A and B are shown apart, each in its own frame.
Chain A
Amino acid sequence: MQRAYNQQEVVRRRTPFVVTILVIISAGLMLRLASFQFSLPLEVQSYLESLRDAGYTRTLELAADRGVIYDRNGEPLAVNTLDYMIGISPNLVSEPQRTAQLLASALGLNELEVFEKVRSDDPWVQLAPRISAAVRQQVTALDLPGVTLTPIPRRSYPQGPLAAQIIGFVGGDLVGYYGVEGYYQDQLAGQVREREISRIPFDLPETTQIGHGSDVVLTIDRDVQYLAENELLRAVQESGATGGTIIVMNPRNGEVLALANYPNFDPNAYFNITDENVLRNPAVNTIYEPGSVMKVITVAAALDRQAIAPDFSYVDSGVLNVAGISVYNWDRRAYGAVDVTRVLVDSLNIGAATVALEMGRQPFYEEFNEFGFGRITGVDLEGEEAGLMPVPGDSNWSEANYVTSSFGQGISVTPLQMLTAVCAIANDGLMMQPHVVRQFVSNGEVIPATPAALGRPISAETAQQVTQMMVAVVESGLDNPARLPGYTIAGKTGTAEIPDPSGGFYQSGVSITTFVGFLPADDPQVAILIKLDRPREYWASQVVAPVFSRFVERLVILMEIPTDDVRRQLGALGGSVNNINR
């Protein structure tokens, strides 16, 4: 009894100490807990918060829908669609044989292979990596348990190969390549946004929409593009050419209305292309020697520098020995006394070289530089080349180069560069920057692309004089097959030799033929370049000038450009047709 009492006494005496110690420990722990809450370094705090959140939230990266590409009239050229990845969870399938039979039939797969997948021990098996929306509908209609369909975004080009090299394509990684898709990747793709998905059932999901890339409205007219591609295909087939280009441009503002190349490709099946060069746009990234088309620029430059007068003449003796080379005319004839208009009408190499020599080397290169040769135009398409214009001081330049450049040899340009330079003549001397995008539409806001001027290489007066000479070329010169009754056309052909890639001089018997022209000559609404590579016939006036006439005959109907007499009657009433409303 006494012993039990003593034990109770000991407990009674020790209890306050134990309680005190426990209280102190608890207080310490609570203080430590409070320190976690209030006085941790920021990085430790954020790390702990991320550990906390990782348990019940996950972050999804959601790509915005890619912007749609339209032609100038609102016809969609590139849109977004969905393909589907189809898979199956075998443990949810109650009738494997029937399921395999139905799925194989819908997907066009081997029934035995599908059956093996349906009987698999895996929790989920992929049946097909990508099926179309139509096949997906068939599969959904079967109402089979365990089948999963995961949407996969896909870029679709409803017009098929039309304008493929302008538009470019979007790869499997949803990134745009070539053309507008590549050049405006950032604007079209929009932003990738993160969305927090909570596993807590009480958290309401985010309802904000994931934005949308900017829609792009091109300057391209789908119908003109179709016409250009059809005429180009026909011209290539008839002439036996290996390739070609047609560019249609509004010289007043630099809008590219059509840009057709042959060969081209179907952007819906870009992965079938084995030659990567087909994916590029030869109009902006293939350079060539333009030949006699350049004589127009030489004459315009000389007139603008007042190195020659419009009535300038010289005696053509059939050969010009200068800078260590002999220059001959295309037919090796001597033309006697000729004026500057006839230099263009008869496409005389000696005449062009004489005009360039009259101008002098320094002003010649300054003028060519102002016309944009040797530098990019800045067109909004991927992979533009600057061309090749050797200038004094360059290792590949010689005095002969200065002479031959005057008639388009020893100088290389892109087709678009050449047309842009000629457009300066059509636009009273003001050279506009070529562009293919007319406006962006972002969240309902329309952002128009403002036409930009590249410069004024020649005066309006010089432009008028050269235009009259170019009209004479089509009316009475070698390029007569380019005429179209009822319309005044200014133009010039160019037959360019092709440099030998093995390092020799020029390949014999093959040429690149070009026609550059604009109409109506007194109030230009369209400027056109047609180029055919290596046709059977050698001379541009025989090959490409008739193609120009045929193309323009259809084009004026499509663009509702009336004949000259109708335009003049309309002008007398105070009206005009110089607004392309299409």
Chain B
Amino acid sequence: MAQSWFKHALQRSALQPRRQTASLAILGMFVAIFIGALYLSQASSTSLLGRQLGDLIDERDRIQQENEALRAEIAGYRTVERLLRRAQEMGFVPATNDTLRYLVVEGYNPDREAAVVPIDAAVEEPLPEYDESFLGWLQQQWDALVGQVERFNSSESN
């Protein structure tokens, strides 16, 4: 019994380093496969993104070119000759000095200074400012609540 146990211990001690090596190798292989898979996944998604970006750039350039072409086409439709022809088709006739009257409107001066109300005058009081601390947030909530109560009270009195 004691002898068989000893033999078994000897066999086990001989196998132990091989198993550990194999386990480590397998673990290493799995890690390598995992990292490789990650790299491939990342690389393929980058590559795909690059292609999509390239397509978008091409699309952008194409749209810009089409835009230019449309601008040229519109300009072609707006030539003086074309507008004149169209106006004549619609019954317009060229203005002459005999048919033209300039009106001088009493009290109207086209060069007068425009009276504009200053923007500052419309602002009655400065808006409250809150800092980004907890107390500031609390103050903001409180002011909002007070405001709601005031609006409610004023609507009630109306």
Min C-beta distance of B67 to chain A, whole Å: 10
Q: A326 at the A/B interface (Cβ < 8 Å)?
A: no
Asked if B100 contacts A151 (CB within 8 A), the reply is no
Q: Classify chain B: how many residues form its interface, as a range.
A: 35 or more
Q: A239 at the A/B interface (Cβ < 8 Å)?
A: no
Chain B residues with CB below 8 A from A563, complex form = 102
Min C-beta distance of B141 to chain A, whole Å: 43
Please give me the residue from chain B that is nearest to A151 by CB atom: B65
Chain A residues with CB below 8 A from B72, complex form = 76, 79-81, 156, 158
Within 8 Å by CB of B104, from A76, A205, A573, lies: A573
Q: B124 at the A/B interface (Cβ < 8 Å)?
A: no
Q: A25 at the A/B interface (Cβ < 8 Å)?
A: no
Within 8 Å by CB of A82, from B49, B69, B95, lies: B69
Total count of chain A residues near the partner, CB < 8 A: 40
Q: Give residues 564-582 of A contacting B (CB, 8 Å).
A: 566, 569-570, 573-576
Chain A residues with CB below 8 A from B50, complex form = 201-205
Known: A569-B104, A574-B109. A202 touches B78 (CB 8 A): no
Asked if A158 contacts B75 (CB within 8 A), the reply is yes
Asked if A207 contacts B53 (CB within 8 A), the reply is yes
Asked if B102 contacts A205 (CB within 8 A), the reply is no
Asked if A204 contacts B75 (CB within 8 A), the reply is no
Please give me the residue from chain A that is nearest to B62 by CB atom: A151
> In whole angstroms, how far apart are the Cα atoms of A563 and B104 in the complex?
12
Min C-beta distance of B60 to chain A, whole Å: 8
> In whole angstroms, how far apart are the Cα atoms of A81 and B49 in the complex?
31
Asked if A75 contacts B75 (CB within 8 A), the reply is yes
Q: A108 at the A/B interface (Cβ < 8 Å)?
A: no
> In whole angstroms, how far apart are the Cα atoms of A575 and B109 in the complex?
5
Known: A205-B54, A575-B111. A557 touches B100 (CB 8 A): yes
Please give me the residue from chain A that is nearest to B64 by CB atom: A65
Please give me the residue from chain B that is nearest to A159 by CB atom: B79
Within 8 Å by CB of B71, from A79, A485, A576, lies: A79
Asked if A223 contacts B80 (CB within 8 A), the reply is yes
Asked if A159 contacts B53 (CB within 8 A), the reply is no
Q: B38 at the A/B interface (Cβ < 8 Å)?
A: no
Asked if B49 contacts A204 (CB within 8 A), the reply is yes
Within 8 Å by CB of A201, from B47, B97, B104, B111, lies: B47
Q: Give residues 63-79 of A contacting B (CB, 8 Å).
A: 65, 68, 75-76, 79
Chain B residues with CB below 8 A from A222, complex form = 80
Known: A79-B68, A205-B57, A576-B111. A158 touches B104 (CB 8 A): no
> In whole angstroms, how far apart are the Cα atoms of A556 and B51 in the complex?
60
Q: Give residues 471-502 of A contacting B (CB, 8 Å).
A: 484-486
How would residues 11 to 53 of chain B score, 1 for a CB under 8 Å from any chain A CB and 0 otherwise? Answer: 0000000000000000000000000000000010011011101
Chain B CB count within 10 A is highest, among A65, A556, A570, for: A570
> In whole angstroms, how far apart are the Cα atoms of A553 and B54 in the complex?
58
Please give me the residue from chain B that is nearest to A201 by CB atom: B47
- Top 8 nearest A-B pairs (CB, nearest first) are A158-B75, A201-B47, A562-B102, A569-B104, A226-B80, A566-B102, A76-B75, A79-B72
29 A–B pairs (Cβ distance < 8 Å), ordered by A: A79-B68, A79-B71, A81-B69, A82-B65, A82-B68, A82-B69, A151-B65, A158-B72, A158-B75, A158-B78, A159-B79, A159-B80, A162-B79, A201-B50, A202-B47, A204-B46, A207-B53, A226-B81, A484-B97, A554-B94, A556-B97, A557-B95, A569-B104, A570-B110, A573-B108, A575-B109, A575-B110, A575-B111, A575-B112
